């Protein structure tokens, strides 16, 4: 029995060491990426909650295990006005590197709680990484450089990135497991992918850009899409364990997956490009700092075109980065 | 790197168990009973249902809103539910737009424990909601007396690339006065 426990311990030691090595990011690169992340979040993805202030109390219908149940109802409207301003202040503090760690923890708490109020309308959206990424920056040494007042270095930098890597693949795993049960049916008369297309295409006022091409798609093609989606969502652990390059390849697959969702279903999940960017973009942008300005061009696009542009730009930079032999 | 070196005996195994519990408990509960989904938790959207693609018709359902101008005309949910993002439309329908009491029971997996979900409606809250909905309709130039919810079954013809039929399978009128 003792031998078995020692073996298990050795297995997990190797497991965590390997993932830690594969998810490792240079502290300087991550610090520069923190500044980039803060600016992009402030400009394009600033979490806003003041819309909740006008929602009547009778629509407060949180799921039983939503954190908002602790409050028993929506807070007064002024709360959301104040927290929207606090979010701006915390994001600016993150960008300039002034008490960044405190600001990032504040951003995590505010977005977790306020999203809980938003989800009290009866539906939990799954933008959890929009909050967790603040926690990741807070518990790494992302504010040790490029800061007006650098934060003290902490020992959990590598561990945080390792845990975040595991969280990312687990997130996709949760999406893929039930799909595997229903979609891998070797039956050309059903399609999971087309369920999404039809459910989202007809009610939409702004039709997804490429959805029309798939309304009458060949059943073989839609079956392949079903299986590919499931395979992608369930296979993250293999890519995470194999090598640094395979981990990046998985995140590139994930980026293409989200780009396709933006074009076909109008579901962009664009905030995820910033999450993948920790591994895909941080070193590239550190080396080619001027390239960050290309993200500013998204400002001239509207609606879904912003998301499409950001995904394409992120994928392109990643590919250039991977093939850049001078790195 | 030093951080993952064991500080005590079986540190890595303990860490693995903690990670496993934090990740898998909410996911297992949600998989067994989606109504009991925990927030916050690391869970992504599933949407695992399928569409029947057996013949040239694709059949699916959608909700539509209608309100009075001169006659009953289509109403965008974004007008009625001003400021509320459209992804919450279906859950607000489930809660009867906050105009009627709503209660639901969930059975906790592997136990006899039942959990109640409800909107705790009283006259004051109902009045405030009606007033809010009336204002939203008025501002967009609709009559503020009623709005209608319809569930429509649509049959789309693949070969003709057009809707072959749309049938109302559910209709409910909400009175705001």
Q: Which of A275-279, A297-301, B121-125, B143-147 has the lowest mean pLDDT?
A: B121-125
Q: What are phi and psi of A47, to 5 degrees?
A: -65, 125
pLDDT at B84 over 90: yes
pLDDT at A35 over 80: yes
Range of the structural domain that residue B126 is part of = 52-175
Q: Domains in chain B: how many in total?
A: 1
Does the distance separating the beta carbons of A116 and B83 come in below 8 Å? Answer: no
Q: What is the pLDDT at residue B70?
A: 87
Taking the Cβ of residue A41 and every Cβ of chain B, the question of whether any pair is shorter than 8 Å is answered with no
Spell out the SS3 assignment of A147-204. Answer: CCECCCCCCCHHHHHHHHHHHHHHHHHHHHHHHHHHHCCCCCCEEHHHHHHHHHHCCC
Asked, for residue B139, whether it belongs to a domain, the answer is yes
Mean predicted lDDT score pLDDT of chain B: 90
Cβ–Cβ contact A15 with B under 8 A: yes
- Is residue B165 assigned to a domain? yes
Pairwise CA distance, residues B166 & B160, whole Å: 15
Give me the mean pLDDT over the B6-31 stretch: 91
H or E segment and range at residue B15 = helix B11-32
Mean pLDDT of A180-195: 94
Q: For A125-174, what is each residue's pLDDT tens digit?
A: 999 999 999 999 999 999 999 999 999 999 999 999 999 999 999 999 99
**Would you state the pLDDT for residue A240?**
98
Within a domain: B81: yes
Kindly state whether residue B32 falls inside one of the protein's structural domains: no
Residue B113 forms part of a structural domain: yes
DSSP H helices, chain A, are: 2-23, 27-44, 77-96, 100-118, 128-138, 157-183, 192-201, 212-215, 219-234, 236-242, 244-265, 271-280, 282-287, 304-323
For the entire predicted model, the pTM comes to 0.93
Nearest to A126 among B3, B35, B45 (CB): B45
A positions 149-178 inside 8 Å of B (CB): 155-159, 162-163, 166-167, 170-172, 174-175, 177-178
CB count, 10 Å around CB of B26? 20
Residues 59-98 of B with CB under 8 A from A: 60, 62-63, 76, 82-85, 87-88, 90-92, 94-95, 97-98
A108-130 pLDDT tens trace: 999 999 999 999 999 999 999 99
Given this model, what pLDDT does residue B5 score? 54
Q: Record the tokens describing residue A116, joined without a space.
A: 């809980």
Residues in chain A: 327
Model confidence at A69, pLDDT cuts 50, 70, 90, reads very high
Kindly report the nearest CA distance between residue A12 and chain B, in angstroms: 6
Residues 144-173 of B with CB under 8 A from A: 154, 156, 158, 161
Using DSSP's 3-state secondary structure scheme, residue A266 falls into coil
Q: Is residue B124 part of a domain?
A: yes
Which residues are bridge partners to A101 per DSSP? Answer: none
Is there a contact between A162 and B50 if contact means CB atoms under 8 Å apart?
no
Please tell me the predicted confidence (pLDDT) of residue B28: 95
Say whether residue A215 is in contact with chain B using an 8 A CB cutoff. yes
SS3 B112: coil
Q: With b meaning 16 or more CB within 10 Å and e meaning fewer, what string describes A300-316?
A: eeeebebbbbbbebbbe
Q: Which among A264, A308, A66 has a CA at the least distance from the CA of B106?
A: A66
Select from B42, B92, B151, B158 the residue whose CB has the most chain A CBs within 10 Å, as the one to mutate to test that interface: B42
Segment 135-154 of chain A within 8 Å of chain B by CB = none
Query: Among candidates A310, A149, A86, A236, which has minimal Cα distance to B44?
Result: A236
Please give the share of chain A, as a percent, with pLDDT higher than 70: 99
Q: Are B50 and A55 within 8 A, CB to CB? A: no
Instruction: Tell whether the model's pLDDT for residue B3 goes beyond 60.
Output: no
Give residue A326's pLDDT: 54
Which whole number is the average pLDDT over B164-174?
Answer: 95
CB within 8 Å of chain A, chain B residues 4-33: 4, 6, 9-10, 12-13, 15-16, 19, 23, 27, 29-31
Q: What is the pLDDT of residue B4?
A: 52
- Chain B residues whose beta carbon lies within 8 Å of the beta carbon of residue A13: 4, 6, 12
Q: What pLDDT sits at residue B1?
A: 46
pLDDT of B128: 94
Contacts of A207 in chain B (CB under 8 A): none
Task: Kindly indicate the confidence band of residue B29, based on its pLDDT and cuts at 50, 70 and 90.
Answer: very high
Cβ burial, residue A199 (10 Å; 0-12/13-18/19+): middle
In a domain, B2, yes or no: no
Span A23-33, pLDDT tens digits: 999 999 999 99
Position B8 pLDDT exceeds 80: no
Residue of B48, B50, B132 lying closest to A56 (CB–CB): B132
Q: Which of B15, B53, B95 sits opposite A189 (nearest CB)?
A: B53
- Quote the pLDDT of residue A87: 98
Q: Which of B9, B49, B88 sits opposite A195 (nearest CB)?
A: B49
In the prediction, which pLDDT does B102 show? 87
Res. A279: pLDDT tops 70: yes
| ipTM of this complex | 0.92
Window 113-142 of B: residues touching A by CB (8 A cutoff) are 115-121, 125-126, 128-129, 132
User: In the predicted model, is pLDDT for residue A325 greater than 70?
Assistant: no
A171 closest CB neighbour out of B44, B102, B128: B44
**Tokens 């060491």 sit on residue:** A17
In order, the DSSP letters of A238-263 are HHHHH-HHHHHHHHHHHHHHHHHHHH
Is B47 among the domain residues?
no
């Amino acid at each position: 029995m003792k031998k078995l426990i020692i073996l298990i311990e050795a297995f997990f030691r190797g497991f965590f060491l390997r993932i830690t090595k594969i998810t490792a990011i240079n502290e300087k690169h991550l610090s520069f990426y923190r500044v980039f992340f803060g600016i992009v979040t402030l400009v394009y993805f600033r979490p806003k909650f003041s819309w909740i202030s006008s929602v009547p109390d009778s629509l407060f219908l949180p799921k039983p295990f939503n954190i908002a149940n602790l409050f028993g109802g929506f807070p007064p409207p002024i709360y959301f006005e104040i927290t929207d301003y606090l979010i701006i202040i915390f994001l600016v503090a993150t960008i300039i590197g002034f008490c960044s760690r405190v600001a990032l923890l504040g951003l995590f708490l505010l977005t977790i709680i306020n999203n809980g109020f938003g989800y009290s309308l009866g539906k939990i959206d799954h933008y959890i990484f929009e909050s967790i990424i603040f926690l990741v920056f807070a518990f790494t040494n992302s504010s040790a450089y490029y800061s007006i007042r650098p934060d003290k270095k902490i020992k959990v930098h590598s561990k945080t990135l390792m845990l975040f890597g595991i969280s990312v693949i687990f997130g996709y795993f949760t999406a893929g497991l039930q799909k595997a049960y229903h979609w891998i049916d070797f039956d050309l008369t059903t399609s999971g992918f087309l369920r999404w297309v039809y459910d989202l295409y007809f009610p939409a006022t702004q039709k997804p850009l490429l959805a029309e091409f798939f309304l009458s798609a060949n059943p073989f093609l839609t079956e392949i899409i079903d299986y590919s989606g499931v395979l992608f969502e369930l296979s993250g652990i293999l890519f995470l364990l194999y090598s640094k390059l395979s981990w990046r390849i998985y995140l590139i697959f994930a980026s293409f997956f989200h780009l396709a969702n933006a074009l076909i279903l109008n579901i962009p999940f664009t905030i995820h490009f910033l999450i993948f960017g920790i591994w895909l973009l941080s070193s590239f942008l550190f080396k080619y700092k001027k390239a960050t300005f290309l993200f500013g061009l998204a400002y001239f696009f509207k609606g879904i075109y912003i998301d499409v542009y950001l995904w394409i730009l992120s994928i392109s930079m990643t590919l250039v980065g991977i093939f850049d032999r001078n790195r | 790197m030093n951080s993952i070196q064991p500080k005590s005996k079986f540190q890595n195994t303990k860490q693995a168990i903690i990670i496993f519990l934090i990740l898998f408990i909410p996911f297992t509960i949600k998989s067994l009973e989606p109504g009991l989904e925990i927030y916050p938790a690391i869970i992504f959207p599933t949407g695992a249902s399928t569409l029947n693609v057996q013949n040239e018709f694709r059949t699916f359902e959608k909700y539509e809103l209608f309100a009075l101008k001169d006659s009953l005309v289509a109403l965008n949910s974004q007008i009625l539910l001003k400021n509320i993002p459209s992804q919450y439309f279906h859950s607000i329908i489930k809660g009867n737009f906050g105009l009627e009491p709503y209660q639901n029971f969930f059975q906790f997996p592997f136990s006899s424990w039942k959990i109640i979900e409800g909107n705790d409606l009283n006259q004051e809250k109902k009045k405030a909601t009606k007033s809010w909905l009336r204002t939203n309709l008025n501002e967009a130039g609709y009559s503020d007396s009623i709005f209608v919810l319809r569930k429509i079954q649509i049959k789309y013809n693949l070969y003709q690339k057009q809707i072959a039929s749309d049938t109302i399978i559910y209709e409910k009128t909400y009175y705001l006065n």
